[in-house]
Amino acid sequence: MTGGGAEPVGAEFGRSAEALAGMAERALSAGAASQIASGDIERVLTAMMKLYAAKAEAEATPPPPVSADKITPTEVVVVISETMRAVNLNLFDLSMWYRRAR
């Protein structure tokens, strides 16, 4: 998406990420999480996980996937646990990947 007057994908993504994060924060502060369609959250999380995985594989030292000061351990465990259930991944499988060589 570069050239021909098109905006670089990184700049477009940055603005979209800021807008989406702001929308999510407003929904949370308003107690409106239940009003967000589960399919929309699934689509966004799936795309972001795939993008993060591709970026992490391409870099010698992957950046943290979340801001530790902006998310609780409970929130992380809820998402990780449900993600593992969704893809039928068990703790043994996870332990094999956790220590894999880069």
Q: Is-above-0.85 flag for pTM?
A: no
Both 32 and 44 in one domain: the answer is no
* pLDDT per position as a tens digit, 11-70: 999 999 999 999 999 999 999 999 999 999 999 999 999 999 999 999 999 899 999 999
Q: How many domains does the chain have?
A: 2
What is the model's pLDDT at position 24? 97
Both 52 and 96 in one domain: the answer is yes
Both 48 and 97 in one domain: the answer is yes
What is the model's pLDDT at position 69? 97
Both 29 and 52 in one domain: the answer is no
Which structural domain range is residue 25 located in?
Answer: 1-36
What is the model's pLDDT at position 39? 98
Residues 65 and 95: their CA atoms lie apart, in Å, by 18
Q: Do 61 and 53 touch, CB atoms closer than 8 A? A: no
End-to-end alpha-carbon separation of the chain, Å? 30
Both 93 and 53 in one domain: the answer is yes
Both 6 and 21 in one domain: the answer is yes
- Phi and psi at 99, nearest 5°, equal -100, 10
Angle value at C-alpha 62, between 57 and 68, nearest 5 degrees = 135
